[in-house]
Amino acid sequence: MTEKLVIIGNGMAPGRMLEHLFERAPGQYQVTIFNAEPRVNYDRIMLSPVLSGEKDYEEIIIHGDGWYIKHGITLYKGHKIINIDRARKTVTSDHGVTESYDKLVIATGSVPFIIPVPGKDLRGVITYRDLDDVQAMLLAAQSREKAIVIGGGLLGLEAAAGLASRGMDVTVLHVMPTLMERQLDPAAGYLLQKAVEERGIKVICKANTKAIVGDGKVEGIELDDGRIIPATLVVMAVGIRPSVGLAKEAGLAVNRGIVVDDGMQTSDGSIWALGECAEVGGMVYGLVAPLYEMARVAASHLAGDHSATFVHSDTPTKLKVTGIELFSLGDFADGDEREEIVLRDASAGVYKRLVLKDNKIIGTVLYGETADGAWFNDLKKKQTDISQMRETLIFGQAYQGGSPLDPMAAVAALPDDAEICGCNGVCKGKITSSITSKGLTSLDDVRAHTKASASCGSCTGLVEQLMTLTLGESYNPAAVQPMCGCTDLGHDDVRRLIKAKGLKSIPAVMQELEWKTSCGCAKCRPALNYYLVCDWPDEYADDYQSRFVNERVHANIQKDGTYSVVPRMWGGVTNAKELRAIADVVDKFDVPLVKVTGGQRIDLLGIEKEDLPAVWADLGKAGFVSGQAYAKGLRTVKTCVGSDWCRFGTQDSTGLGIRIEKFMWGSWTPAKLKLAVSGCPRNCAEATCKDIGVICVDSGFEIHFAGAAGLDIKGTEVLGLVRTEDEALEHIVALTQMYREQARYLERIYKWAKRIGLEEIRHQIMGDADKRKAYYDRFVFSQKFAQVDPWSERVSGKDKHEFQPMASVGFNEAAE
Amino acid sequence: MNWYPIGKIEDIPLRGARCVKTPQGKIGVFRTVENEVFAIEDHCPHKGGPLTQGIVHGKAVTCPLHNWVISLETGKALGADEGAVRSIPVKNEDGALSIALESLMMAAE
């Protein structure tokens, strides 16, 4: 007996389901389809090639009109179902057609998500979902004007590429820091951004749309940061939502999607759901492979075979933009019991990353060269143990075969129980086995894990020999000390390459310089952040999460997790109003300790993190700004009272100190930078043990540098004598900039000076006026972006989340 | 075990952390670059440093006080150091985060 099967929706999933159904149970059903779109079933995935002009609509039709006639299907084009009557088993369309059913399939798909911003309803704002949207875009593209795509995911990038190839000037706005962050790790996201930008598409990440502006029609977008980007077309491609309204009204179980069991049946025994609107096993899907799997399962149940079940499997993601090769599969987050194999070839723009767990592939990201995607997918699916081909796995299928070298073969004659480190009682076997089993590659690692040569150090040579024997050619004790375990490059190489290659973000550095980890570590990230801030002051966006806590919260963390607050006192000079404000803060916040610092200012200790913004607000009202006592940057300029008061003073040392501090505050330096100005050679400001110091004399200003009074104690070196305050300032600033540009992160000025030579510094700063002027100008330029008081920024709400707990839970219960 | 909603995933910066106050002490909730969320005690096994204030890299955090590196997954110290903090179950439902606390311990407070 023929049953009546009604299908709501005519997309790819129900189309595929019908193909299966007609094959398995021909003639079992009389089929009626309601399609809200006024057309037949076409390949929605191929809309991007239609947009870019690589294909026509006719080429992407899956089922032409003839197919519907052949199978006796009644297709209502342009009919949207507005009601399901489950009691009577009927559906009714917006054109008033009512059909009864024995079995009903809901395949309403999804609707694009519209971000709820002002202006979203303006003319010229469209989504990217169906052929109508493509036609609207093609029409708009004839203008060859500016377009904005909101959303840097799969769909958004395809839309952007399509519009660009149609001649539009396209900007992609993406709210996350890297493109396609759900499918790609940041390294691949960076490469993708580069490739997209090479096509003339502008990409703005971390872009929060505040409003779409325009009078009647779109004129542009305003971002959170106040930027306005003009455009006549805005395409929203930020994601999709399962279209579940109809099912919900009919009283079916609905969660994110229409809830179905693994046989695709809804909570009503006569109704099935599949496609993007269905939620199975708590998941909703948007890629075609699982949707086709749903179609297979649903068809088999409709045909009376109830054994088929839907099983989740990861689907590889590929981007359909000609010339961009990209493949992403599975879980590629890194973790403890997971290992990763990373291959980077910067010159070829290739990045490959395999994530392994228990010697099996669980995730893959390929960029630039994706030919082995299928092979990796297969290995993952079959859960193949890859330990045999581990060394060559990343090179792909073509490189398998051949036996790995035995690294232990060369270990020399000493017996394993021979003691190497007397201080810590470490024998040879322990060292070699730790090197191998823990993958140690540097002397520091071996010291950390075995303690060998970690005390007196006299056995360092022996330990290094063992490392050479164990690691072979790959260990070279004379080699440059790498920045950290994430790279083989030293600080100097990294700095040089950042400039030479024009690298302007941390992901860019990590990709181009072939970093071995996906997101760095606590050693390299702050260093890279400094190098980028220093080299590209106007272009680089400071990476807050790569800063040490003190520079992130603008106070100094103490052993108990509280903070200390040091307001700036220019040149160490203060007055009654400032002192009263400090006293009031001490009372109001019950500050446990007030201490005068070595840099001539006042430290408030024991402040709770939550109180910091309120403390700063009160200090700010009295005119205080951050003393940056926490910064790898300019700290203090200590002064004596100079010629205004002192009977020996030769110059206005206080005034010069204040002038220098006001000129240089806010600047970031490789390590902390402390200055002092003394009014005469009696040197009450102790300028001769500072990073940079000035000794005033009758004939002018003697500039000193490279002193130390911390771990090391060292008197300063003389840079030279200049006649005027202006000259003194120019020389000090130029010297600071030279240090900023050349030193390694955390290297104080005396260590840098020793490394590159005092004569070289004197020559460049004292002897070469052009060079000095150029350094000076670069410092002045970077100050334009650096001199922002971080305290007042935070008082007015910046990084608010940093100072408040996320939540406070469980306390009510405890009170009971 | 009781589940307590603590907020949305966007409340935590990428490669960052936030602190949640509970009767059992502070708990750090971390968000990795891959958008995964972990919760561990906000108390370094070494000298009690606030781990939420550290730099988050991969699935680990470096304590701001003395640079111990703690695994967010296991709560164990990585590298050559030894020690561990408690991991707290955390649920991420479509961006809505909740953590599980043991009710017995709370009643005892």
Q: B47 contacts in A (CB within 8 Å)?
A: 559
Distances (CA, A) of A390 to A314, A352, A365, A386, B15: 23, 14, 17, 6, 30
Mutate to test the interface with B, among A284, A519, A559 (most CBs of B within 10 A): A519
Q: Which of A120-124, A313-317, A685-689 has the lowest mean pLDDT?
A: A313-317
Rounded to whole angstroms, how far apart are CA atoms B22 and A808? Answer: 6
Q: Does B48 touch chain A (CB under 8 A)?
A: yes
> CB–CB of B11 and A806 under 8 A?
yes
User: Which element (helix H / strand E) includes A270?
Assistant: none
Same domain, A79 and A140: no
- A81-85: strand order across its sheet: A81-85, A90-93, A98-100
B7, B24, B74 ranked by CB distance to A336: nearest: B74
Search chain A and give the residue with CA nearest B46.
A559
Q: A181 contacts in B (CB within 8 Å)?
A: 35
Considering only CA atoms, which of A214, A337, A784, A285 is closest in space to residue B76? A337
Is the predicted pLDDT of residue A401 greater than 60, yes or no?
Answer: no
What's the confidence (pLDDT) of residue B109? 40
Mutate to test the interface with A, among B4, B15, B40, B71 (most CBs of A within 10 A): B15
> CB–CB of B19 and A334 under 8 A?
no
Instruction: Please report how many Cα atoms fall inside a 13 Å half-sphere around the Cα of residue A749, on the Cβ side.
Output: 33
Same domain, A98 and A42: yes
Same domain, A176 and A230: yes
What ipTM was predicted for this assembly? 0.88
> CB–CB of B36 and A806 under 8 A?
no
Mean pLDDT over residues A247-256, rounded? 93
- Distance from the A51 Cα atom to the nearest Cα atom in chain B, whole angstroms: 31
A521, A545, A561 ranked by CB distance to B50: nearest: A561
- Distance from the A230 Cα atom to the nearest Cα atom in chain B, whole angstroms: 28
Average pLDDT, chain A: 89
Same domain, A511 and A640: no
Chain B, 10-29: which have a CB under 8 Å from a chain A CB?
A: 11-16, 18-24, 26, 29
- Write down the pTM of the prediction: 0.60
Where are the extended beta strands (E) located within A475-565?
556-557, 563-565
Same domain, A373 and A495: no
Rounded to whole angstroms, how far apart are CA atoms A370 and A376? Answer: 10
Domain carrying residue A180: 125-238
Search chain B and give the residue with CA nearest A560.
B49
Chain B, 87-106: which have a CB under 8 Å from a chain A CB?
A: 94, 99, 101, 103, 106
A559, A561, A811 ranked by CB distance to B23: nearest: A811
Same domain, A369 and A265: no
> CB–CB of A545 and B16 under 8 A?
yes
> CB–CB of A807 and B6 under 8 A?
yes
Q: Report residue A692 as tokens.
A: 């940079």
> CB–CB of B106 and A333 under 8 A?
no
Instruction: Please report how many Cα atoms fall inside a 13 Å half-sphere around the Cα of residue A214, on the Cβ side.
Output: 21
Where are the extended beta strands (E) located within A626-722?
634-639, 673-678, 692-697, 700-705, 708-709, 713-714, 717-722
| A426: β partners | A421
> CB–CB of A521 and B57 under 8 A?
yes
Rounded to whole angstroms, how far apart are CA atoms A161 and A685? Answer: 63
Considering only CA atoms, which of B62, B26, B66 is closest in space to residue A545? B62
Second-level CATH architecture of B2-104: 3-layer Sandwich (2.102)
Same domain, A66 and A137: no
Residue A311 resides in a domain = no
Same domain, A618 and A699: no
β pairing state of A326-330 and A360-367: antiparallel
Rounded to whole angstroms, how far apart are CA atoms A776 and A758? Answer: 19
Q: B96 contacts in A (CB within 8 Å)?
A: none
Considering only CA atoms, which of A140, A145, A111 is closest in space to residue A125? A140
Same domain, A673 and A710: yes
Q: Which of A230-234, A482-486, A626-630 has the lowest mean pLDDT?
A: A482-486
Between A and B, how many CB-CB pairs are < 8 A?
136
Q: B15 contacts in A (CB within 8 Å)?
A: 519, 545-546
Q: B109 contacts in A (CB within 8 Å)?
A: 814
A518, A544, A561 ranked by CB distance to B58: nearest: A518
- pLDDT per position as a tens digit, A666-679: 999 999 999 999 99
Q: Does B51 touch chain A (CB under 8 A)?
A: no
A333, A337, A801 ranked by CB distance to B18: nearest: A801
Residue A599 resides in a domain = yes
What's the confidence (pLDDT) of residue A788? 92
Is the predicted pLDDT of residue A453 greater than 80, yes or no?
Answer: no
Chain B, 68-87: which have a CB under 8 Å from a chain A CB?
A: 69, 71, 73-74, 76, 78-80
Q: B21 contacts in A (CB within 8 Å)?
A: 805, 807-809, 811
pLDDT band for A414, please (50, 70, 90 cuts).
Answer: low
Q: Phi, psi (5° rounding) for residue A469? A: -65, -40
- pLDDT per position as a tens digit, A30-55: 999 999 988 888 888 888 888 888 88
What's the confidence (pLDDT) of residue A480? 67
Is the predicted pLDDT of residue A650 greater than 50, yes or no?
Answer: yes
- pLDDT per position as a tens digit, A564-622: 999 999 999 999 999 999 999 999 999 999 999 999 999 999 999 999 999 999 999 99
Q: Are A339 and B39 in contact (CB under 8 A)?
A: no
- Distance from the A745 Cα atom to the nearest Cα atom in chain B, whole angstroms: 17
Mutate to test the interface with B, among A241, A545, A558 (most CBs of B within 10 A): A545
HEC string of A56-71 equals: CHHHHEEECHHHHHHC
Q: Which of A391-395, A511-515, B36-40, B70-74 has the lowest mean pLDDT?
A: A391-395
Q: B34 contacts in A (CB within 8 Å)?
A: 185, 332-334
Higher pLDDT, A599 or A392: A599
> CB–CB of B18 and A520 under 8 A?
no
What's the confidence (pLDDT) of residue A406? 33
The CA-to-CA distance between both ends of chain A, in Å, stands at 66
Dmax (CA) of chain B: 38
Q: Quickly list DSSP for A144-175.
A: --EEEEE--SHHHHHHHHHHHHTT-EEEEE-S
| A200: β partners | none
> CB–CB of A334 and B16 under 8 A?
no
Is the predicted pLDDT of residue B105 greater than 70, yes or no?
Answer: no
Rounded to whole angstroms, how far apart are CA atoms A207 and A202? Answer: 12
Is the predicted pLDDT of residue A149 greater than 90, yes or no?
Answer: yes
CB neighbour class for A585 (10 Å; exposed up to 12, middle 13-18, buried from 19): buried
Search chain B and give the residue with CA nearest A331.
B34
A334, A545, A810 ranked by CB distance to B4: nearest: A810
Q: Are A572 and A638 in contact (CB under 8 A)?
A: yes
Considering only CA atoms, which of A145, A120, A149, A127 is closest in space to residue A212? A120
Same domain, A721 and A778: yes
Q: B75 contacts in A (CB within 8 Å)?
A: none
Mean pLDDT over residues A762-774, rounded? 94
Residue A667 resides in a domain = yes
Mean pLDDT over residues A446-464, rounded? 73
Q: B24 contacts in A (CB within 8 Å)?
A: 810
Q: Which three-class secondary structure state does DSSP give residue B6?
A: strand
Q: Which three-class secondary structure state does DSSP give residue A652?
A: coil
Same domain, A350 and A424: no
> CB–CB of A519 and B71 under 8 A?
no
- pLDDT per position as a tens digit, A270-317: 999 999 999 999 889 888 878 888 999 999 999 999 999 998 877 777
Average pLDDT, chain B: 90
Considering only CA atoms, which of B72, B12, B13 is closest in space to residue B41? B72
Considering only CA atoms, which of A276, A303, A245, A279 is closest in space to residue A107? A276
- pLDDT per position as a tens digit, A167-223: 899 999 999 999 988 888 888 888 899 889 988 999 999 999 999 999 989 999 999
Q: Are B10 and B26 in contact (CB under 8 A)?
A: no
- Tell me the range of A179-183, A344-348, A469-473, A733-737 where mean pLDDT is highest: A733-737
B7, B57, B94 ranked by CB distance to A520: nearest: B57
User: Which element (helix H / strand E) includes A776?
Assistant: helix A769-786
- Distance from the B67 Cα atom to the nearest Cα atom in chain A, whole angstroms: 8
Search chain B and give the residue with CA nearest A206.
B14
Considering only CA atoms, which of A18, A70, A14, A75 is closest in space to residue A303? A18
What's the confidence (pLDDT) of residue A743? 95
**pLDDT more than 90, % of chain A:** 57
The residue type found at A636 is T
The residue type found at A307 is S
What's the confidence (pLDDT) of residue A184? 83
- pLDDT per position as a tens digit, A51-77: 888 888 888 888 888 899 989 999 999
> CB–CB of B53 and A546 under 8 A?
no
Q: Quickly list DSSP for A167-189.
A: T-EEEEE-SSSSTTTTTS-HHHH
A545, A805, A807 ranked by CB distance to B15: nearest: A545
Rounded to whole angstroms, how far apart are CA atoms A485 and B90? Answer: 31
What's the confidence (pLDDT) of residue A458? 55
Is the predicted pLDDT of residue A403 greater than 50, yes or no?
Answer: no
Q: Are A137 and A37 in contact (CB under 8 A)?
A: no
> CB–CB of B58 and A517 under 8 A?
yes
Q: Report residue A351 as tokens.
A: 């990045």
- Distance from the A43 Cα atom to the nearest Cα atom in chain B, whole angstroms: 29
Query: How many residues are recorded in chain A?
Result: 816
Q: Which of A233-247, A268-282, A479-493 has the lowest mean pLDDT?
A: A479-493
> CB–CB of B58 and A549 under 8 A?
no
Instruction: Please report how many Cα atoms fall inside a 13 Å half-sphere around the Cα of residue A79, on the Cβ side.
Output: 19
Search chain B and give the residue with CA nearest A333.
B34
A332, A522, A557 ranked by CB distance to B62: nearest: A522
Higher pLDDT, A412 or B98: B98
Q: B32 contacts in A (CB within 8 Å)?
A: 333
DSSP code at position A666: T
β pairing state of A74-77 and A29-35: parallel
Q: Report residue A312 as tokens.
A: 């989740």
Q: How many domains does chain A have?
A: 7
- Tell me the range of A18-27, A333-342, A399-408, A766-775 where mean pLDDT is highest: A766-775
**pLDDT more than 70, % of chain A:** 95
The CA-to-CA distance between both ends of chain B, in Å, stands at 16
Q: Are B72 and B63 in contact (CB under 8 A)?
A: no
Same domain, A642 and A784: yes
Residue A314 resides in a domain = no
Rounded to whole angstroms, how far apart are CA atoms A227 and A751? Answer: 43
Q: Which of A214-223, A403-412, A623-632, A714-723 has the lowest mean pLDDT?
A: A403-412
Place of tokens 């995964």: B36
- pLDDT per position as a tens digit, A339-380: 888 888 877 788 888 888 888 998 888 888 877 777 787 788
Q: Report residue A245 as tokens.
A: 């309204």
Distances (CA, A) of A449 to A232, A378, A523: 61, 38, 18
Q: Quickly list DSSP for A251-266.
A: T--BSSSEEE-TT-B-
- Distance from the B104 Cα atom to the nearest Cα atom in chain A, whole angstroms: 10
